[in-house]
Amino acid sequence: MTCPLGHAEMSPRYLGDVTVHQCSSCQGIFLERAELGHLIEAENDWHRDRLSPPTQPIPRVTADMEIPPPPPATAQAYVEVLFG
């Protein structure tokens, strides 16, 4: 498969039942609709099955907000395992 944007070969990346193709030039990804559904289900399962406290909701952005601290070294989402 060739990337329509980067015009480079796209490499398959596998994680469980999901196959995602990633461009070696622009790092863009391509996946089929069914693969997106599998990623969404896996992401929801990953958050549900975590042993640590649940993920905090994303706050609303306001003018008085400060820059948040850097994220912890552990994965914050299932898809980070695939693209991290």
26: closest CA among 47, 11, 5?
Answer: 5
pLDDT in tens, 54-67: 666 566 667 887 87
What is the four-CA torsion angle of 58, 63, 67, 68, rounded to 10 degrees? -20
pLDDT higher than threshold 70 for residue 13: yes
pLDDT in tens, 19-44: 899 998 898 889 888 888 888 888 88
pLDDT higher than threshold 70 for residue 69: yes
- Give 24 or 81, the one with higher predicted confidence: 24
For residues 57 and 44, what is the distance between their CA atoms, to the nearest angstrom? 14
Amino acid 77: pLDDT = 75
